[in-house]
Structure formats: C-alpha cells, structure tokens
A and B are shown apart, each in its own frame.
Chain A
Amino acid sequence: MDILCLGLSHRTAHVDVRERFAIPEAELARALATLTSLPGIAEAVIVSTCNRVEFYAAGPDATTAMCSLQQFAAERSGVAPSIPDPFFAHDGTASIAHLFRVVSGLESMIIGETEILGQVKKAYAAAAAAGSTSRNLNKFFQRAFNVAKEVRTQTSITRGPVSVGSVTVDLAEKIFGRLASCHVMILGAGETAELTARALLSRGVKSIFVANRTYERAAALAAEMGGEAIHFEESERRYREIDILVSSTAAPHPIVTHDKIAPVMRERPERPLFVIDLAVPRNVEPSVNDIEGAYLYDIDSLQSIANQGMEVRRQEVTHCEQLISRHVNEFHQWLGAARPQKSGSEPA
C-alpha cells in the first residue's frame, strides 16, 4: 500500500486558481466517495482550506492512484486531464513528510501557525465519517497529529507574535493580563486601526470608543464593532476612562501629547495606559513613553517585534525538520512492514 498526495497551496497557486479547486464542506462526502471509487484508490482524505487544497490517497499501486487523483483534480477544475502547473505530487516518503510539515505549520503562510492543525483534523474527521479512510490513512493522520504536537511542544515554532495585530494583543496581555476589563479608544476610523481593534475585540475587551474627525464614519465603525462613537473633540476628556489607545489618524502632527497624557496618568498611578500609534506621520509624541505607567509603541516598533518573532520561527524550522524526518522514517518503515497485509479495516 502506498500513500500519495496531490495538491496546490498558496506557495504554488494564486488564490484565483486555488478557489477553482476548493471543495466546500457540504460537498466533501460526495467528493470523497467519488475519489475512493476511482481505480487504484482505496482510501482518501481531502484537505480544503483557503490556503491549500490537497488530496491524500492510499492505494495498492501508486501509478494508478496518482493518475486517478490527477484525473479527479482536472475534472473539478474543468480543464483537460493533465497536471496543471500549480499542482505538486508526492508519493512515498515525500508524501509522508509533506503532511507532517503541513500539520506542523511549516508549509503555512505564517510559519508555525496552528490553525492548520485544526483544519486537517476536521478534514480527517469528515473523511473518517464518510468511511473513506481505513488502516493506512488512519494511522498516517494519527501519526501526523502526534508529530504536530511534538513539534509544537519541543520547538519554538509557534512561539512569539509574528504580525502587528498579534504583537499588539500580546503586549496588551503582558500589561493588563486578561483584557476583559479593558476599555479601548480608537482615534481615526481607518482600516489599520480597525484591524487592531478587531484583534483586541477578539480577546474580549470590555468596550471600544471610536473617535474620528468625521463623526459619521466613527458611528459606522462603532456600530460595526459594537462600540460607542464619540466626537473627536471629546476624545481627550475620555482618556482617563481608557486602558488602550489606538491612534491612526491622518493628522500631520502629534495629537496625543505628553501634556495631555501626563495629568491623566497622575490621576491613576496604578492603572497603566497602552498607547499604539499606527499612524505615519506619528500621532503620539514619543515623550509619552517617558510618563510612568504609559507604554507607547509605534508602527516600527511593533513591526520590529513581529519580525523578531518570525526570525525565531525561521531559525526553528531546521530543528522541526530533524524531528519530522525521524517520524517520516519510522512511519515509512511501518508502512513497508504493513504492505503484505493487503486490505484491512482495522482501525489504527
């Protein structure tokens, strides 16, 4: 029995190509049934996410199974039955290594992200429920999940924030702990501030005030995020109520100054203020960071921390690959030893 993989990902195909091959959840069972009815394919799992579409198959003859996979993929795209350029095809140890890398986040757009593991688990569960997996793919996917766990716990591949949004949220949590009691103010209703506010909202901040020169835009954004719109002129008076200030206005000069923040902090010495300045030119005077209890981060410092996090993850890739390589060899040996036992329905 051989294990094969045919697929495309964000690395090999643009989104307009990927979306042609994507398989919605509702169609998975039927697609799996079609796959397992094709010549040479005994077992199948389909992983379809926004960044990848991959078909895993186990069959007694690798050549026949790969032809069937290619035919299936081509039919779904509505083009002639040949491998379209963006596809990659793996068999033997390469297919094993590929899945182990995918679930460990090494093939992800953001190295080390863990969402893919949940997506692959879901894909495997759907395939198992549809009855399209058996001994080989059961064992293969279970082993992959164990490998992912080992990689996550024994390396630093998932450690540290790697985007401006995640850096902001992580820093906020390092200042306040749980964000459930934090009040946030957004100055400027632009996209950058909105993304940051959404990242904070996802961690359960208590309330959000939105202030913008154009009140209507502030009201629209506040309504969208379940916050409160305030007039821009009113924002300064509300500084004492907030814990996190996100500024991203188009003002050509600092609008949040040392003189405005210092009295606020004197009134609340035990309550810190996290100031995030995402604007260029900057909206917040750098000297605000000198005020006790105020922590100011501009876009460059946030990006720099994100880059550090990414660099740490890149350095960990070699360590992860060594770990994966050991498991690939072990699983390949198991697969070789299991080969004489032709078909079987024994679960892994």
Chain B
Amino acid sequence: MDRLPLILSTLCFLLGFAATLAALKSGHYHPRRFNLGMMATGLLLQTVFLVGRGQAIGHCPLTNLFEALVFLSWSIALLYILIGPAYRLSLLGMFTEPLLFLIQTVALLAPIDALHPVFPPHSPWLEFHAAVSMMAYGAFAMAGVAGVMYLAQERQLKTRRLGTIFFQMPPITALATANMRLLWSGLLLLSVGQASAAAIRVKVAPGVLIWGGAMWFSYLLLLLARRLGPRRVAIFSVVAFVLSVAALCLLNHFSKGTM
C-alpha cells in the first residue's frame, strides 16, 4: 500500500501524455493546461511517497536503485514545474511525461527495491550529497528531453515535412537555449554534489570515482566548447543522459551499504 501514491503518480504521467497525444491528433491542443495539472499532481504524489518512505527507513530515500530512480523522477518533475512555465516551452511536458512514466514503471516492476540489511549511520551531509547529485541527473534528464525536442524540430525544419506537432513546438532557438541552461544547472548541481562528497570523504570504488569525474569533465568541456553548435549539444545531451542513468546504476551497484 505504501507504493500507492507512486502508482497513482505514474498513472498521472501516463494520462498527461495520452491526453496530449489525443489533443494533438485532434488539433485542439492547449499548451500547459492539462499537462501542468497532471505533472503537479504527479509531483505531489511522488513527494507523498518519498516522504513516507523516508520516514519509514529513517533516511533520505536513496538507499537503493528503486528509491534512486523515484528520486530522479521526482527531480525531473520538480524541474519541469520550475522551468517549464518559465521558458514557455509548450510540449515539454509531453516529452517529459513518457520519460517519467518509463522511469517509474521500471522502478515499480523491476526487483530493485531491496532493503539494505544494515544502514550506515545517519549523515545529513551524505544525504545532501546524494540528493543534490540526483537533482543534477534530473537537470541532465531535462536537457536530454530538450535535446530530443530540438532534434525533432530541426528534422522537421530541414526536411520541410511539418507534422501536426510542428506548430505546437517551441522555437528551435528557445530549445537550444533551454538545453544549454539545463546543462549548466546540471553541471552546477553535480559540482556541488561532488564537492560535498569530497568534503565528507565519501568512500567509493575507484571505477565510480573515475566515471563520475569523466561525466563532470565531459559536461564541462561541452559547455565550454562554444563552436560545437546546438545540434551537437542536443545529441550530446541525449547520449549523456543515457550514460548518466547507466552511471547511476553503476554507482548504486558499487556503493551498496554506503548510505
């Protein structure tokens, strides 16, 4: 029963995505109405679940891969609520909701909710490090979503085959800007997360340390290389997010019992 809010939030994201698809098909799409409602409800239910889980285990709910995926999904939904309306990126929700649905479905169905037999001592700084790092992955995920939207919009413009979705999409330059800002936000959060880990001397496997450092350095290089152009940045955002999730799984695997 403790999973009920999470199941309901997953359904919210599915419903929001389905409703947007149906509205686009009928040609009567009104940006930000239903999507925002579904996203906000989903976020609320995620929060209820995470708070409940945190109280039950007496820790920040990041003790296994299941919780990490839910926390990642919560970060993405929160970022959407914060930046979606600010950038007026209509349809961002439509692209974000299937991602949230996918992450939470995997979290709910896969046998990854194993409780650690022994929790490490309660450490607010360790939890801060984990939470901020997860928020960074949320920002990278949103950058990946903006990257997918950019590539879709660019393809339509280049091939001159403008589908139903074209006129509902944000301008391609707005997507490029949003992508860059999300990547910077993610890098900043990741830097804070890594700095806090260094400050409290978190013990991790060397592979994880190298992987995390490589990720951070790749994002930094990408953002400093001004001549790459928005298309390559968009491709990188998508690929890098997939790799980030892989890194998250690795991190979880190697750091079992450290949180």
Binding site for B on A (CB under 8 A): 153-156, 159-160, 170-171, 173-177, 266, 269-270, 272, 289, 292-293, 295, 297, 301, 304-305, 308, 312, 316
Contact = CB atoms under 8 A, between A and B. Distances in A.
B27 A305 contact: no
A174 B158 contact: no
A269 B173 contact: no
A270 B169 contact: no
Nearest to A298: B160
Contacts of B26: 156
Nearest to B160: A301
B229 A292 contact: yes
Contact of A174 (B153, B227, B230, B231): B153
Interface residues of B, number: 23
Nearest to A270: B230
Given A292-B229, A297-B160, A153 B174 contact: no
A305 B162 contact: yes
B28 interface: yes
B12 to A, nearest CB: 25
A156 B171 CA distance: 21
A159 B29 CA distance: 11
Contacts of B230: 269-270, 293
A293 B160 CA distance: 14
B27 A175 contact: no
B24 to A, nearest CB: 11
B203 interface: no
Given A154-B28, A155-B28, A272-B173, A175 B231 contact: no
A145 B185 CA distance: 47
6 contacts: A153-B28, A174-B167, A176-B173, A270-B176, A289-B158, A293-B229
A293 B229 CA distance: 8
B28 A175 contact: no
Interface string B225-244: 01111110000000000000
Contacts of B229: 269-270, 292-293
B15 to A, nearest CB: 21
Nearest to B30: A153
Contacts of B251: none
Nearest to B169: A174
Contacts of A176: 171, 173
A265 B167 CA distance: 25
A295 B157 contact: yes
Given A174-B153, A289-B158, A305-B160, A269 B228 contact: yes
Interface of B: 26-28, 153, 157-158, 160, 162, 166-167, 169-174, 176, 226-231
A293 B228 CA distance: 11
B128 to A, nearest CB: 35
A170 B157 contact: no
Nearest to A178: B171
Q: Does more than half of chain A's interface fall in helix, strand or loop, or is it mixed?
A: helix
Contacts of A174: 153, 157, 166-167, 169, 171-172
Contacts of B157: 171, 174-175, 295
A269 B227 contact: yes
Interface centre among A153, A155, A292, A297 (most CB of B within 10 A): A292
A305 B162 CA distance: 8
Nearest to B172: A175
Interface centre among B27, B169, B226 (most CB of A within 10 A): B27
A289 B161 CA distance: 14
A107 B27 CA distance: 21
A70 to B, nearest CB: 42
B167 A170 contact: yes
Nearest to B230: A270
A312 B162 CA distance: 13
Nearest to B153: A174
Given A177-B171, A269-B226, A312-B27, 14 more contacts: A156-B27, A159-B27, A174-B153, A174-B169, A269-B228, A269-B230, A270-B176, A270-B229, A272-B173, A292-B229, A293-B231, A297-B160, A304-B160, A305-B160
B173 to A, nearest CB: 6
Contacts of B27: 155-156, 159, 312, 316
Given A174-B153, A174-B171, A308 B226 contact: no
Nearest to B174: A177
State the 10 A-B residue pairs at the shortest beta-carbon distance, nearest first: A156-B27, A269-B229, A177-B171, A301-B160, A295-B157, A177-B174, A175-B172, A269-B227, A292-B229, A176-B173
A256 B196 CA distance: 54
Nearest to A295: B157
Contacts of B228: 269
A175 B173 contact: yes
B175 to A, nearest CB: 10
Interface centre among B157, B169, B228 (most CB of A within 10 A): B157
A166 to B, nearest CB: 11
Interface centre among A159, A174, A301 (most CB of B within 10 A): A174
Contacts of A160: 167
Contacts of B160: 297, 301, 304-305
Nearest to A172: B171
Interface centre among A269, A292, A305 (most CB of B within 10 A): A269
A153 B166 CA distance: 19
A175 to B, nearest CB: 6
Contact of B173 (A154, A170, A177): A177
Contacts of A270: 176, 226, 229-230
